[in-house]
């Protein structure tokens, strides 16, 4: 027996303790009582990252005037952030191993705070785009790290609560973003949309420093070729999705080149890394049926969630004439109901029912709410708009927690950071795809309905003369043409909105078969395995 072992044996039998000083014990969360400050900190950081995607939308007209930019140029304020975040997000697992989870999270929070303050100080469009790129780079790890940390610190029997808390930020933040952004912009300045991140980020930083446990840093070899292919693939795909509508899709040579780069690099990345153990992303995750099905489901759900988020401000402001602040309040009932449902699902329902049935129920409820929106008219009131949103909010609350729980049920704790990065990336790509597809189809359907309605405007139309007479005009008045064109345009857009809500509702229902491709987890707790 070695000297060290004999010394240890004496200590156990009551002899003198070893002469060498004891090693310091790293702070670890209590297995039954997760540290509340750490939970608050990681949720706040996730909220900040997700919120900055939608909160900035309402400030774009104000930035356009402040920077003297065109409508095409100002979209780079959104695109730069989304593309940068998408490129870095799947690298979360690698960065966590390379830097350590604690160091990565603290660096990301500090970088996000500094870049947010710089965005608020931006003096021209070029500086704003640069600072938004930095904000996206530092913000990217916040969401996957938050999910991984919560799943790590919560005990097995409380995984549903962990995911419900995380879902409050991920699912509710995009909904309240337009309301908060509209209020801050109208009450103070568009710059406060960025400044608000500073105190919240500092608060989260202080709590993270005190409670985030240390972990050993792994000495890993960097797969630079794999990283380059991944960055090119994700960056090109996000660029195509974000700029396609602005540049008339494949009629633009730039979009065609972006699509070719995205396809080629994606195929090369998978062919090269499928059986490569040290690939920049562990592709063995894709051998987990639950994880793959869950990731595809959350990607498709992004079309439903963010598609509605893109349509509703246009509908309420362009057609109904609501101010940005009032239009934002339309989402508040949905956010409140979604938060309540998330809490109930995570703490009670997930223990009582098969999680897959809860996911399916959530999809049905979301689809019901969206299909009700397809019956909107130009005369719908506030609660007529908000009530279908409440149904969809209940669906979101039922959907997110069980889906994530089943998707991560057999993911080991060592793969949590990596799996969370991929999951968050695909959720973001789904959102970008949803906005791009819905925006393109909306313009297309508007043109179709405008042509169909215009065909009915003839001197023989019995409704034309009475409509014009209500406005003191007749078919031969010079003002009749612009008035009729304006009304046809409004009606065409209304019909296009109805079409889009039908489309989103059907896409939501089409996700249901994916749910039943997932295996029922053996344990009710649905916690990732060790």
Segment 244-278, tens digit of pLDDT: 777 777 778 888 888 898 898 888 888 877 777 66
How much is the pLDDT for 475? 62
Between CA 54 and CA 61 the distance in angstroms is 14
CATH for the stretch 285-530:
1.20.1250.20
DSSP 3-state of 225:
helix
How much is the pLDDT for 194? 86
Residue 530 has pLDDT above 70, yes or no: no
What is the 3-class SS of 339-355, one letter each residue? Answer: HHHHHHHHHHHHHHCCH
Closest CA to 398 of 363, 428, 372: 363
Apex 31 CA angle, 29 and 35, nearest 5: 40
Model pTM above 0.75: no
DSSP 3-state of 425:
helix
Between CA 508 and CA 230 the distance in angstroms is 29
Segment 178-222, tens digit of pLDDT: 677 777 777 788 888 888 888 888 888 887 776 666 666 666 666
What are the structural domain ranges in the chain?
A: 29-221, 223-279, 285-530
Between CA 431 and CA 173 the distance in angstroms is 14
Residue 156: DSSP 8-state: G
What is the 3-class SS of 18-56, one letter each residue? Answer: CCCCCCCCCCCCCCCCCCHHHHHHHHHHHHHHHHHHHCC
Tokens standing for residue 294: 């869950």
Residue 451: count other Cβ atoms within 10 Å of its Cβ: 11
DSSP 3-state of 330:
coil
Q: Which CATH architecture has domain 29-221?
A: Up-down Bundle (1.20)
Integer angstrom CA distances of residue 71 from 61, 75, 181, 314: 9, 7, 19, 16
Segment 349-366, tens digit of pLDDT: 888 888 889 999 999 999
Fold agreement between 29-221 and 285-530:
yes
Integer angstrom CA distances of residue 137 from 146, 185, 258: 16, 25, 21
Segment 103-147, tens digit of pLDDT: 888 888 899 999 999 988 888 888 888 898 898 889 888 888 887
DSSP 98-138: HH-HHHHHHHHHHHHHHHHHHHHH--SHHHHHHHHHHHHHH
Compare 463 and 315 and report the one with higher pLDDT.
Answer: 315
Between CA 122 and CA 133 the distance in angstroms is 13
Segment 360-414, tens digit of pLDDT: 999 999 999 999 998 888 888 888 888 898 998 899 888 888 888 888 877 777 7
């Amino acid at each position: 027996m070695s000297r060290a072992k004999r010394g240890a044996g004496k200590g156990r039998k009551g002899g003198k303790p070893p002469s060498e000083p004891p090693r310091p014990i790293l702070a670890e969360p209590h297995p039954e009582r997760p540290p509340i400050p750490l939970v608050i900190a990681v949720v706040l950081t996730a909220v900040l990252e997700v919120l900055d995607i939608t909160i900035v939308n309402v400030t774009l007209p104000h930035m356009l005037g402040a920077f003297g930019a065109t409508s095409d140029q100002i979209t780079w304020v959104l695109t730069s952030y989304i593309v940068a975040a998408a490129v870095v997000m799947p690298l979360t697992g690698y960065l966590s191993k390379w830097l350590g989870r604690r160091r990565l999270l603290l660096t990301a929070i500090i970088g996000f705070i500094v870049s947010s303050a710089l965005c608020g100080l931006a003096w021209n469009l070029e500086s704003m785009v640069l600072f938004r790129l930095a904000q996206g780079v530092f913000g990217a790890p916040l969401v996957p790290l938050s999910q991984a940390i919560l799943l790590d610190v919560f005990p097995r029997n409380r995984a549903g609560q962990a995911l419900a808390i995380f879902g409050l930020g991920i699912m509710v933040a995009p909904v309240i973003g337009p309301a908060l952004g509209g209020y801050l912009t109208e009450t103070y300045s568009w710059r406060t949309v960025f400044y608000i991140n500073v105190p919240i980020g500092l608060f989260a930083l202080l709590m993270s420093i005190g409670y985030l446990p240390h972990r050993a840093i792994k000495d890993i070899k960097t797969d630079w070729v794999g990283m380059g292919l991944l960055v090119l693939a994700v960056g090109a795909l996000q660029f195509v999705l974000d700029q396609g509508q602005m540049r008339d899709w494949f009629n633009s040579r730039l979009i065609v080149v972006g699509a070719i780069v995205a396809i080629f690099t994606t195929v090369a990345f998978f062919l090269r890394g499928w059986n490569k153990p040290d690939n920049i992303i562990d592709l063995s995750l894709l051998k987990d049926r639950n994880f793959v099905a869950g990731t595809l489901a959350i990607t498709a759900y992004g079309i439903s969630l963010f598609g509605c988020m893109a349509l509703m401000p246009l509908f309420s402001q362009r057609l109904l004439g609501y101010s940005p602040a009032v239009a934002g309040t339309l989402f508040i009932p949905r956010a409140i109901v979604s938060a309540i449902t998330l809490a109930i699902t995570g703490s009670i329902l997930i223990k009582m029912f098969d999680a897959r049935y809860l996911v399916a129920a959530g999809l049905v409820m979301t689809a019901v709410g969206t299909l009700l929106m397809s019956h909107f008219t130009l005369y719908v009131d506030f609660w007529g708009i908000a009530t279908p949103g409440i149904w969809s909010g209940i669906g979101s609350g039922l959907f997110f927690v069980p889906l994530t729980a089943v998707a991560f049920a057999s993911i080991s704790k060592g793969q949590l950071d990596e799996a969370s990065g991929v999951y968050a990336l695909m959720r973001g790509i789904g959102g970008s795809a949803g906005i791009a597809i819905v925006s393109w189809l909306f313009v297309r359907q508007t043109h179709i309905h405008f042509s169909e309605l215009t065909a009915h405007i003839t001197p023989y139309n019995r409704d034309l003369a009475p409509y014009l007479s209500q406005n003191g005009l007749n078919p031969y008045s010079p003002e009749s043409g612009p008035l009729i064109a304006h009304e046809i345009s409004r009606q065409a857009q209304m019909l296009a909105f109805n079409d889009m809500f039908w489309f989103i509702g059907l896409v939501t229902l089409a996700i249901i078969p994916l749910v039943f491709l997932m295996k029922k987890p053996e344990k009710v707790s649905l916690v990732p395995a060790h």
